[in-house]
Structure 1
Amino acid sequence: MRILSRSVARVLLLASSLTALSAVGARAETTLNLCYMNHPVIAANVTILEKWAKEQGVTLNKTPVSYSVYLPKITQMLSAGATDQCDIIWNNDDWGQDLEGYLASVEDVTEVRNVAEGQLEPFHNKEGQTTAVPIVTTAGIFFYRTDLVPEDQVPKTWDELVAVSKKLQEEDKVRWGYVGGMSYTNTFFSFWWTLWNNNCDIYEPLYERDNVKMGEAGWKPMTASACQKETAEFWWDALHANKISPPGMTTYSRDEANAIFQAGDAAFTVADTTFLGNFNNPDKSKIAGKVGIASFPQGPNSSGHRNWIDIWGWSIPKVIDAEKQAAAKKLLGAMMTDVDGQIEQWNLTGGPPPNTKVWKVLDEKDPNWVKMSKILFDSAHVHDAYYFRNWAATHKVYSDVMIKAMKGSREDIQATLEAGVQPIHDGAPK
């Protein structure tokens, strides 16, 4: 009996030891929760993170969130101090100023500052440290059908865009000349690219985004200015008079517009370069292999081509523990130094790699990259957002004003724009 008892004791001791070792192993394994919008370029970057997570022994839990609810969901999570939902979040310049107080500095992430000049400022905290590790440089570009429009006939002005569109429609080659997102949060693909390429903006001074300078100028809206009226009239005519765009385009997001372009029903669109991969994917697009890129057509008041250029990034909430912060930074640093992974991201999506050192590699061997980078980076730039806390609400006010102008009569456009001046002024910081 004593022998049996000693045997049982040894078994129990062994089991106890194995349990303890198992617990140590469990504590050693790190799990990171990744929260993001399900977008082609973000998905491509997540693939890089997955590769390095496996290499580093990290379990990566992925939580895609729709764009329409992403910001309120993440804001609620951060403001509540939740520690169990997201360890790495997608962040962009539109709301960088709203979230920066909740985010850890990522200054110590390898290569974090190797980005296009001036692109990290929207993510700086009060100490001037960056709170985002770049995923991609986002920028809009003019897409056209190469099977319908020779390169030397691609429209360079708004008038040419109308003329070529109407010709293609009359020849029954497309249903629409131009299609682009126009609803709130999709203003970039209609109102804003034309606004910025007609020497115009939301506030004076033109193209300024420094809040101090904007305040000194009185946050004066350009809503009722001549250049804004020209822009509104161009789109009203596109919808109702020239009919080169769908009459329901005022409700379109980028998704509806991209779907029409990919179906072959339109000759032109403006979208983020990150959708080039989808446009040229034969499993998703009827026009695969027939898509060209060009600079934006210019308005009558233009002083030169102007792109919006901004960063999307990954950020780390302050509230997660030090061990997870360290693991997240190590993972993001691996992504920033993964040349092959970033080139594959470019090949799949058309999104410029986050690390500008990779651009130099592409400069030497990829003519498609050279063409796109020349269009994007050899011209003047504008940030696509303003950086005050009420910007999202003010953006909605602007969008509502322009949509109302599109739905009313052409003669009422000026009055509609003038009625929007005070609300847009009131939305700015005081």
Structure 2
Amino acid sequence: MGLENKLARALLVGGGFCAVCSSTSAQAETALSVCYINHPVQVANVAILEKWAVKQGVKLNKTVTSYTVYLPKITQMLTSGANDQCDIIWNNDDWGQDLAQYLEPLEDVPNVRKVEVGQLEPFHAADGKTTAVSMTTTAGILFYRTDLISEAELPKTWDDLVKISQPLQSEKKVKWGYVGGMSYTNTFFSFWWTLWNNSCDVYAPAYERDNKKLAANGWKPMIYSPCQVQTAEFWWDALNSKKISPPGMTTYSRDEANAIFQAGDAAFTVADTTFLDTFNNSERSSVAGKVGIAPFPVGPMSNGVRTWIDVWGWSIPKTLPNDRKTAAKKLLGAMLGDPDAQIEQWNQTGGPPPNTDVWRTLEKNDATWRRLHTILFKPDHVHAAYYFRNWATVHKVYSDTLIRAMKGKREDIAATLKAGSDAIHAGATAND
């Protein structure tokens, strides 16, 4: 064989060998992108995914988006069929059923069903298969200052909340008795926790989330019912006459409310349990070590304490190539099967582990967990959202109506609420 032929053959073999090397390298390093918001529990759970990505030979790219643009961005991505932006997405029960048709069924992910009964229903596709795995359980809880209020003195009713708050304010121990988010998308931390704890809801029958049953009842709004009027009057008084809450609270998000509580300027707040560590972190909070958790105070029409409990989850777009779907499922399964990392997530944030098998370990070893579990999971529950396509629009109408009532005269509250009723009814029936 001539020199030229030998060189040509060497180049051919070498080139083929390099092609094999390149192919092997590409196969060895699967790249996945996870899309989420900068929330403590999501950051903590992404850290678990990163840990397992290294072990599984996956390059995990992180895309953090603000809450306000997250849903429009993800909705546009899913509905357009794009598959080059996010392989794993944060999914919320508020929009879980709207997005389900665009998401991969995840029944084959190990431990996917290890959640509280009913908590994956908001993510079910038409065939009943879940399109999300849990990253944590989200639920609101009453936070209070343990240096100002003993456990024996905790408020059991709304009246108690006022009676405890006002002396603390008059004695200059705090500026405000209660602070909580009240603007649209932050309704949970004011209007809704009180609504649900006054035997009330957005539609009748209260606490029902089965669309067929709600439709059979005519999607009847409860916004001008006596329990809702009473709830609105409580908040009007809190802002305007009893003055236990800041007058500008109608504009507050959870961030503004949390900041006031962390600064030591309020005795009580309601927030997701996932902020427990933030409130008790000396680098972030001036009240660190002085924060406790308690059940919700109830209204005059209440038949018992009721908590909201929902799952925040991870989902996988249906249009992904099969190799990326497989890799993403394997990563989520590893997270769900890692009890030590889930306990660390709980320790770092106050977010309950996604796998309820881990809860039994915490029950044995963690007094804070036992307290939280008793408060959240022993009372009756409610889902924080309804599950029809126009729910976000209805939520906005509800929020705008309640805030308008807060800014008007007290005697006009009932009429203001009634004026929002038709839009709330139409928002649900538009799905029919």
Q: Per the shorter chain, which TM-score range? A: over 0.9
- Please show how residues 140-179 of structure 1 align to structure 2 within 5 Å: 140-179=140-179
| Offset of residue 189 of structure 1 | 0.1
Q: Which amino acid aligns with 1:399?
A: S
C-alpha distance in structure 2 between counterparts of 1:230 and 1:83, whole Å: 48
> What residue in structure 2 maps to residue 314 of structure 1?
314
- Please show how residues 231-242 of structure 1 align to structure 2 within 5 Å: 231-242=231-242
> What residue in structure 1 maps to residue 339 of structure 2?
339
| Offset of residue 163 of structure 1 | 1.0
| Offset of residue 68 of structure 1 | 0.6
1:290 aligns with 2:290: yes
C-alpha distance in structure 1 between counterparts of 2:2 and 2:119, whole Å: 75
> What residue in structure 2 maps to residue 258 of structure 1?
258
> What residue in structure 2 maps to residue 41 of structure 1?
41
Structure 1 counterpart SS, 2:46: helix
Give CA deviations for 1:206-226 in whole Å, capped at 9, x if unaligned.
100000000001100011111
- Please show how residues 113-132 of structure 1 align to structure 2 within 5 Å: 113-132=113-132
> What residue in structure 2 maps to residue 51 of structure 1?
51
> What residue in structure 1 maps to residue 403 of structure 2?
403
> What residue in structure 2 maps to residue 377 of structure 1?
377
Give CA deviations for 1:39-68 in whole Å, capped at 9, x if unaligned.
100110000000000000001000011111
> What residue in structure 1 maps to residue 350 of structure 2?
350
C-alpha distance in structure 2 between counterparts of 1:11 and 1:81, whole Å: 42
The TM-score with structure 1 as length reference comes to 0.98
| Offset of residue 19 of structure 1 | 4.0
Give CA deviations for 1:107-154 in whole Å, capped at 9, x if unaligned.
000000010111011111011100000000100000000011111111
> What residue in structure 2 maps to residue 213 of structure 1?
213
Structure 2 counterpart SS, 1:248: helix
| Offset of residue 17 of structure 1 | 1.8
> What residue in structure 1 maps to residue 328 of structure 2?
328
| Offset of residue 7 of structure 1 | 5.5
Higher mean alpha-carbon deviation, 55-64 vs 1-10, is at 1-10
C-alpha distance in structure 1 between counterparts of 2:205 and 2:409, whole Å: 30
| Offset of residue 11 of structure 1 | 5.8
C-alpha distance in structure 1 between counterparts of 2:13 and 2:250, whole Å: 72
C-alpha distance in structure 1 between counterparts of 2:103 and 2:18, whole Å: 39
| Offset of residue 24 of structure 1 | 2.7
- Please show how residues 237-248 of structure 1 align to structure 2 within 5 Å: 237-248=237-248
C-alpha distance in structure 2 between counterparts of 1:410 and 1:153, whole Å: 30
| Offset of residue 277 of structure 1 | 1.0
C-alpha distance in structure 2 between counterparts of 1:279 and 1:347, whole Å: 13
C-alpha distance in structure 1 between counterparts of 2:6 and 2:213, whole Å: 82
Give CA deviations for 1:21-40 in whole Å, capped at 9, x if unaligned.
12331133211110111110
Unaligned regions of 5+ residues in structure 1, if any? none
C-alpha distance in structure 1 between counterparts of 2:16 and 2:342, whole Å: 47
Structure 2 counterpart SS, 1:83: coil
Structure 1 counterpart SS, 2:365: coil
The TM-score with structure 2 as length reference comes to 0.97
Structure 2 counterpart SS, 1:131: coil
1:389 aligns with 2:385: no
Give CA deviations for 1:165-219 in whole Å, capped at 9, x if unaligned.
1110001001111000000000000000000001111110010000000000110
Higher mean alpha-carbon deviation, 28-37 vs 312-321, is at 28-37
Structure 2 counterpart SS, 1:364: helix
C-alpha distance in structure 1 between counterparts of 2:372 and 2:26, whole Å: 47
C-alpha distance in structure 2 between counterparts of 1:149 and 1:322, whole Å: 56
Q: Which amino acid aligns with 1:326?
A: T
| Offset of residue 303 of structure 1 | 0.5
- Please show how residues 70-89 of structure 1 align to structure 2 within 5 Å: 70-89=70-89
> What residue in structure 1 maps to residue 20 of structure 2?
20
C-alpha distance in structure 1 between counterparts of 2:100 and 2:223, whole Å: 29
Structure 1 counterpart SS, 2:105: coil
Instruction: State the identity %.
Output: 66
Structure 2 counterpart SS, 1:34: strand
Q: Which amino acid aligns with 1:239?
A: L
C-alpha distance in structure 2 between counterparts of 1:214 and 1:414, whole Å: 23
> What residue in structure 2 maps to residue 10 of structure 1?
10
Give CA deviations for 1:306-345 in whole Å, capped at 9, x if unaligned.
0000001000000001110010100000000100000000
Q: Which amino acid aligns with 1:253?
A: S
Give CA deviations for 1:260-300 in whole Å, capped at 9, x if unaligned.
10111111000000000110111111111110000001111
| Offset of residue 421 of structure 1 | 1.0
Structure 2 counterpart SS, 1:428: helix
The alignment of Structure 1 onto Structure 2 pairs a total of residues equal to 430
C-alpha distance in structure 2 between counterparts of 1:394 and 1:373, whole Å: 31
C-alpha distance in structure 2 between counterparts of 1:20 and 1:200, whole Å: 65
> What residue in structure 1 maps to residue 199 of structure 2?
199
> What residue in structure 1 maps to residue 414 of structure 2?
414
Unaligned regions of 5+ residues in structure 2, if any? none
> What residue in structure 1 maps to residue 91 of structure 2?
91
C-alpha distance in structure 1 between counterparts of 2:107 and 2:10, whole Å: 52
Is the contact made by 2:28 and 2:57 (CA closer than 8 Å) also made in structure 1? no
> What residue in structure 1 maps to residue 363 of structure 2?
363
Is the contact made by 2:186 and 2:254 (CA closer than 8 Å) also made in structure 1? yes
C-alpha distance in structure 1 between counterparts of 2:378 and 2:117, whole Å: 13
Q: Which amino acid aligns with 2:171?
A: E
> What residue in structure 1 maps to residue 180 of structure 2?
180
| Offset of residue 5 of structure 1 | 7.3
| Offset of residue 18 of structure 1 | 2.4
